[in-house]
Amino acid sequence: MKLSDMADKRSRRLLKSVARSAATELEQLRSIPGTPKELDFFYDVLEAAFVRNAPTPMLGARSEKKLFVGVYCMVIPEELIYAAGAIPVRLCAGCFESSQIGEDRVPRDGCPLVKSSMGLSMQKGLKAFDLCDVVIIPTTCDAKRKLGEELSAFKEVWMIETPHIKDADSSRRIWMEQMYALKAKLEALKHNGNHGKRVNARRMAAAIQSTARAQAEMRRLLAHRATQTPMVWGRQATAVVNAYAFCHVTRWTEALARLNDRLTAMTDDDQPVHHDDRPRIYIAGSPSIFPNLKIPTLVEEMGGIVVADESCAGDRYLYDPVGSTEKNLNDQMLGVASRYLAPCVCPSFTPNDDRVTLIQRMITDFAVDGVLYHVLKGCVVYDFEVSRVENALRDNQIPLLRVETDYNPEDVEQLRTRIEAFIEMLKSKRSRAKKAASNG
Ligand code: SF4
Ligand code: SF4
């Protein structure tokens, strides 16, 4: 058999097993009792991307003459991509099977997100990845920086130099230079007869508005989850945001508006997802990305409820709005660029005290009982910050459980035992507090 035939066979095998894992995860999500039908849209997006491997109706078929731009991390301004007439596709991956294949080019001790992204990009055949005419990778952490070099063997890669000290004047200058360079490249992008469009103030205003609408709906979803008796499970909400990666912003926003309306109706009818006294959990640390939802799933299977997370592929993805609503393109560029740098609390930045402040605010706003700190093996930057977060939470008397894992399902039972013990401890803490309150 020729080498190319062997590679094709391996790709087909890999994509089949990715499809199987994704289908199993979706089956579990769909079988949660009381799932509102408005969640189907998001599950369908993920199914189209990973199971059916058909360019999702949301992205449009390749023949529709659109440009697709793959992005990694949450610091690449999607407004700029939309304003240049292209569609961003977030490619940070959560597939166990491709993380194994990714080890051909990423060290074994590298983080599974990067291994998985590498593994999927090395294959021909997963359309959501193949669609992209170019991929943009920021130099956020070491893993992403080196991913860019490796990926360039398979795709055109544009690296974006991301400053690590946010509030230095030189960082702001470098970032703005990067943004203008990106704008020029997007405008000049050509593929299969499609051309990037000139970014002007009108197109930019429309793109800013579309993203702002998505963020407004995202905040409505968060408000639902902040209530005492949420109408949606944390793992369902994670899937909703994960679907954003493979969906046009307008379609996703419309679907989330429908879901939010439904959740409001469920609130009015007093139909929460649970009636018991579940500890409210905040997941901090490395992102959970479909189909690897094992951490939020275990928390909820073991008697907790995930009310919020700080994941860059979850609640933090669409949290910070663009400050500027200016009509002038330069001011819009400044507003958009700032939105992706100044409030971002990825652990790749230093100093990163804002992150602790954000977590403490979320703990209060979401009445959190405990924090599960998720470290993806090899993600040094998140692991570095765990003790700082733990110390800050001690002042708030909020317990923290650090769990280190990767995409391999083999450690599920071991994690289950630790997470169950953590939830039981939170339950006892709650009932002691209740007793103390009732005793005066
Ligand atoms: S947390 Fe890490 S993976 Fe996520 S956006 Fe930030 S740098 Fe990228
Ligand atoms: S921040 Fe962590 S999870 Fe994200 S790419 Fe870097 S090492 Fe991986």
62 pLDDT above the threshold of 60: no
Q: Which ligand is nearest to the CA of 382?
A: 2
Whether the CB of 379 sits within 6 Å of ligand 2:
yes
Whole-angstrom distance, CA of residue 15 vs CA of residue 17? 5
Structurally, the chain folds into a number of domains equal to 1
Ligand 1 and 126: CB distance under 6 A: no
CATH of the domain at 131: 3.40.50.11890
- Residue 333 domain-assigned (yes or no): no
Report which bound ligand comes closest to the CA of 139.
1
The model's pLDDT over 330-368, given as tens digits with 9 standing for 90+, comes to 999 999 999 999 999 999 999 999 999 999 999 999 999
* pTM, entire model: 0.96
Is 101 contained in some domain? yes
How far away, in angstroms, is 70 Cα from ligand 1 center? 15
- Asked whether 374 lines ligand 2 (CB < 6 A), one says no
Asked if residue 29 lies in contact with residue 41, where contact means CB atoms within 8 angstroms, the answer is no
Closest CA to 427 of 399, 407, 405: 399
Q: Average pLDDT, whole number, for the chain?
A: 93
Cβ neighbours of 27 (radius 10 Å) = 10
For a mutational test of ligand 1's pocket, the pick from 140, 320, 344, 381, i.e. the residue with the most ligand atoms closer than 8 A to its C-beta, is 140
CB of 381 within 6 A of ligand 2: the answer is: yes
The encoded tokens of residue 39 equal: 């969640």
**356 within domain boundaries:** no
Q: 98 phi and psi, to 5 degrees?
A: -75, -20
Indicate whether 295 belongs to any domain: no
Distance 377 CA to ligand 2 centre (A): 9
Give domain status of residue 224, yes or no: no
Contact between 345 and 352 (Cβ < 8 Å): yes
Confidence of residue 57 (pLDDT cuts 50, 70, 90): low
Residue 60, pLDDT score: 59
Contact between residue 415 and residue 407 where contact means Cβ atoms under 8 Å apart = no
Dihedral sign of CA atoms 23, 29, 30, 32 in order:
positive
Question: Is any ligand 1 atom within 6 A of the Cβ of residue 263?
Answer: no
The residue segments making up the domain with residue 196 are: 3-204
348 CB within 6 A, ligand 1: yes
Helices (H), 122-160: 127-130, 142-151
Does residue 302 fall inside a structural domain? no
Question: pLDDT (tens digit, 9 = 90+) per residue, 43-55?
Answer: 999 999 999 998 7
| Residue 61 predicted with pLDDT over 60 | no
Distance in Å, CA 269 to ligand 2 centroid:
41
Cα angle for residues 82, 311, 165 (degrees, 5° grid): 80
Q: Is residue 60 part of a domain?
A: yes
Strands 157-160 and 134-138, bridge-based pairing: parallel
pLDDT in tens, 93-137: 999 999 999 999 999 999 999 999 999 999 888 888 888 989 999
* pLDDT tens by residue, 244-281: 999 999 999 999 999 999 999 999 998 888 888 899 99
- 111 in a structural domain: yes
